[in-house]
Each structure stands twice: as structure tokens, then as C-alpha cells.
Amino acid sequence: MNTKTFPLSKEQLEKLAAQYPTPFYVYDERAIRDNARRINKAFSVFPSFQAHFAVKALPNPFILKILAGEGFGADCASLPELLLADMSNMKGEKSMFTSNETPASEYVKARELGAVINLDDFTHIEFLEKTAGIPELVSCRYNPGPLKEGNAIIGTPEEAKYGFTREQIIEGYKLLRDKGAKRFGLHTMVASNELNPDYHIETGRLLFELAVEIKEKTGIAMEFVNLGGGAGIPYRPEQDPIDYDYVAKGIKKAYDEVIVPAGLDPMGMHMEWARIVTGPYGWLVARAIHRKSIYREYIGLDASMADLMRPGMYGAYHHMTVSGKENAPAAETYDVVGSLCENNDKFAVQRKLPKIDIGDLIVIHDAGAHGRAMGFNYNGKLRCGEILLRSDGSALMVRRPETVEDYFATLDLEALKKFNP
């Protein structure tokens, strides 16, 4: 069981909303820092440990710079993410570039920035050599296929488009060595939002066993293994959070049983956690602006699925509280919705909540990862801004809301005036 909290009182939130009109995201710097330190402390049981925050989850350089200050690097999947990491002091080998179907220009930029390139397919070895050259340090992504179960979000590994097969990855390392690579990493990513801690421990053992097999068959010793991301958070109050110490000790036990006897110690341990790092410490704040009574009771917000798509996209649960009514009885049942011309634009369906009055501020919890990052402009909706609550109690807008001018910025309006179809 976990308690859903919000760092601002009703009075404080109303004051913030008077300065920055809703909807907006709020992030808690102190909580993010404290959480990053807990992760680093738990995994300090390894000879070396490097966390890479998956930029896709929260691509804001202010947040990335906070995490860089706590020793985190970045996991990047595109050119803009590489640039975000670089401007946030996640430089060089602190960043891993794990992309798929990658354009040549992005490999070139990754090499220029010194990021660790993590190849997704056997054919990309030759492609990388021709376009950017083979770096001294290179990693490969492993897809275990039927050897490992996936989960509902990322799918089963044998149906996923990512990674090398076991046979391909062994041949891939041989080829990379022959083409001049001297240092090697091994990576996998097999789940998303997985709360079972033993799943992550089993993934560690799977990679360790593969590292030993690669050493036996090729003579190549891995400099590090990267367990990827996928650690879940308890979106529902009745769920329990992952115990970092339990996971770290379980993976270390597997390391001691597999890596040490094989003579591969010391080997670096890398991970790409993101949701678990910032997810619980970000909230979408919106205001109730309409109430509709037909076959159900509806509360309409000034936010929409364009601001937070997870509930509408795959029915994900996000806890919701009414500011100032946190302890009031949940006596009403609502569908809480946005204004898109799509019926799946719903933040909550038949949710029991306190009575909501027009003007109430609604706090949507656990939105600090895969929230604003997945926003879009369908229906001409403008994406909302982001506010950082600093450790000293001040508030800083770290991304302004979009404007109509932003929406039209990529159109050639001068050519439109002359256009005569």
C-alpha cells in the first residue's frame, strides 16, 4: 500500500495557478534528488554502477541536469535526445544511444558526442561502419525471444522488433572485434512498468549467463552489462513500490554466482530506469470547468488526452485527488474527461471521488514520466507547460505552454497567401 501525496496545499496550489494558468505539470526537485540517491546507494553493492535516465520519459533539460548532478547519465533514442543529454551535462560515455532503424546522421552525431552506441541489429554493424565508423566501445542489444516473458506494455520478446537473437549477438561481437572495437557492453530491455522485483533479478541473471557464454565462445569480456529499464511504479494505491535494496542484492547474488566464478569480475552494472525515477514526483494539475449529467456524471477538465495520453491510450490508471478535498468521502462517481473529439479522452472512468465543484483543482498523480513527453497537437490542442518546485520552495517554469503561434510556426503562411488551388 502506498499513500498518494502532493507537495502543495490547496492555498499554495491556487497561488501557483494564479501565476501559471492550468493545465500544467508540477515536478518536485527534492523528491527526485532523494529518490536518485536511494537508487545509487542501493546499487553501490556492485564494483561500478551507472544509471542512465531514459530521456524519452521526461525530456526536459532542467530535470536531466538535476539527475546529472546526482551522477546519472542518459539513455537516448534520437538526435534531439542526444542533444538534450549533452546540454544537461550527461556527456560522453555517460550517455547511451539505444535506437532502432537509426538514420546515418544520428550515428554520426552519437560518435561526435562520444555516446556509447548500442546496436539494435546485426545488419547495423556494417551500416555503422560505413556511415560513422566503428567506435572503440560498442554495445549490442539482446532479444531473448521465448527465453524471457515480456509484459502487456512492451509485448513478448519474440514479437518485439528490438535486438539481436542469441546466435546473432555472438557473431556480432566477433565481427565488431574484427572491425576494430576493443571494449564491449551487453544490453537488454524486455519489460515496461514491471513491479515484480524478481523479474528484474532474473533479467540480470539472464544477461550474466549470456556474458559468460560470449566470453567462452569469442574470448570477449564484457566491460558492462545494461539491464535496461522497465521498473514499474505503483500507480494504484493498493500496489507496493519496488524495494531497491531487494533488487540490488538479488542481482548482486546472481553476479557473485555467475560472473565472479567465470573470471569476469569486476564488470560494470548499468541500468536505464526512468519511470521509477521521476514518475511518482510529477503531477498534472487541471481545473474542473464543466459538469455534464446524461447517462453518467461527467466532469470536464481544461486538460485533455493531448496532455496525458496514458489513460486514453491503453486504459492506464492514474490516481486522482481534488485539491483541498483529500480527506473528503468519495461519495460521487464520475467519468473525468477532456475536450478532444474522441470518446477515449478520459482520465478516469466511473471513478469514485469527492463531490467536484466547478473551479476545483484536480491533481493527477504519477505523471512525472511518459506524461508531458507523450503530448500531441491533435484537434489543434496546445501542450501545457511544466513547473519545477525547487528544493528551496520556489517555483520555476521550466517549459512554457505552447501558443497558437507555436502551432503555426512550421507552416509557410506567406506562401499560403499566394496559394491558389
Question: Which CATH number describes the domain made up of 280-408?
Answer: 2.40.37.10
Model confidence at 155, pLDDT cuts 50, 70, 90, reads low
Q: Is the pLDDT of residue 165 over 90?
A: yes
Helix (H) / strand (E) containing 362? strand 361-364
Q: At what angle do helices 244-258 and 197-218 cross, to 10 degrees?
A: 20
Length of the chain: 421
What integer pLDDT is reported at residue 294 of this predicted model?
98
Strand 137-142 relative to strand 183-188, pairing: parallel
Residues of the chain with CATH 3.20.20.10: 29-279
What integer pLDDT is reported at residue 153 of this predicted model?
44
Residues of the chain with CATH 2.40.37.10: 280-408
What's the alpha-carbon Rg for the chain, to the nearest Å? 23
For this structure, is 341 an active site residue?
Answer: yes
User: Which residue's C-alpha cell is 525471444?
Assistant: 145
Among residues 132, 144, 238, which one has the least CA distance to residue 180? 132
Percent of the chain with pLDDT over 90: 94
Half-sphere exposure of 352 (CA within 13 A, CB side): 4
Strand 297-301 relative to strand 282-293, pairing: antiparallel
CA 57, chain centre distance (Å)? 3
DSSP state of 322: E
Model confidence at 55, pLDDT cuts 50, 70, 90, reads very high
d(Cα 158, Cα 169) in Å, to the nearest integer?
Answer: 15
Average pLDDT, the chain: 96
What integer pLDDT is reported at residue 147 of this predicted model?
64
Going through 191-303 in order, the beta strands assigned E by DSSP cover: 224-226, 268-271, 282-293, 297-301
Least confident residue range of 60-69, 134-143, 147-156, 179-188: 147-156
Q: Is the pLDDT of residue 76 over 80?
A: yes
d(Cα 75, Cα 96) in Å, to the nearest integer?
Answer: 5
Strand 24-28 relative to strand 385-389, pairing: parallel
Question: Which CATH number describes the domain made up of 29-279?
Answer: 3.20.20.10
What integer pLDDT is reported at residue 413 of this predicted model?
95
What integer pLDDT is reported at residue 231 of this predicted model?
96
- Tens of pLDDT, residue by residue over 226-284, are 999 999 999 999 999 999 999 999 999 999 999 999 999 999 999 999 999 999 999 99
Give the CA angle between residues 34, 30, 84 to the nearest 5°. Answer: 90
Q: Is the pLDDT of residue 158 over 70?
A: no
d(Cα 55, Cα 188) in Å, to the nearest integer?
Answer: 17
Locate 303 and state its grid cell. Answer: 486538460
3-state secondary structure of 102: coil
Report, as an integer, the average pLDDT of 285-292: 98
What integer pLDDT is reported at residue 190 of this predicted model?
86
Model confidence at 146, pLDDT cuts 50, 70, 90, reads confident
Give the CA angle between residues 297, 299, 302 to the nearest 5°. Answer: 160
Are 263 and 222 in contact, with CB atoms under 8 Å apart? no
- Tens of pLDDT, residue by residue over 396-417, are 999 999 999 999 999 999 999 9
Are 339 and 27 in contact, with CB atoms under 8 Å apart? no
Model confidence at 145, pLDDT cuts 50, 70, 90, reads confident
What integer pLDDT is reported at residue 1 of this predicted model?
67
- Tens of pLDDT, residue by residue over 211-223, are 999 999 999 999 9
Sign of torsion, CA 340 341 344 348? positive
Percent of the chain with pLDDT over 70: 97
